[in-house]
């Protein structure tokens, strides 16, 4: 039932990220990871790799200084 776009908006609200900045970060990261088409899909319909990319986007919305990755993230492929 939940769409990723709604979840990203909720994260932005919880961490008090400005809406314009939030929109810019979502667009930039979704373009970088080639998941722009999946932003409006239900979470349960995504593959494991797509879910991992979305988790990375969600973690990046607040502009953290450090990222801690589990071993599973080493295999995520993206193109720049």
Does the pLDDT value for residue 6 go beyond 80?
Answer: yes
How far apart are the C-alpha atoms of 56 and 44, rounded to whole Å?
17
What global pTM score does this model have?
A: 0.77
Angle at 53 between CA 49 and CA 59, to 5 degrees: 140
Does the pLDDT value for residue 49 go beyond 60?
Answer: yes
pLDDT class of 62 with cuts at 50, 70, 90: confident
How far apart are the C-alpha atoms of 4 and 11, rounded to whole Å?
11
Instruction: Give the per-residue pLDDT at 40.
Output: 87
């Amino acid at each position: 039932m939940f769409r990723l776009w709604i979840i990203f908006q909720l994260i932005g609200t919880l961490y008090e990220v400005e809406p314009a900045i939030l929109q810019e970060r979502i667009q930039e990261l979704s373009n970088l990871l080639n998941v722009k088409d999946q932003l409006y899909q239900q979470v349960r319909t995504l593959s494991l790799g797509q879910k991992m990319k979305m988790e990375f986007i969600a973690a990046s919305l607040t502009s953290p200084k450090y990222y801690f990755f589990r071993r599973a993230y080493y295999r995520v492929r993206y193109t720049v």
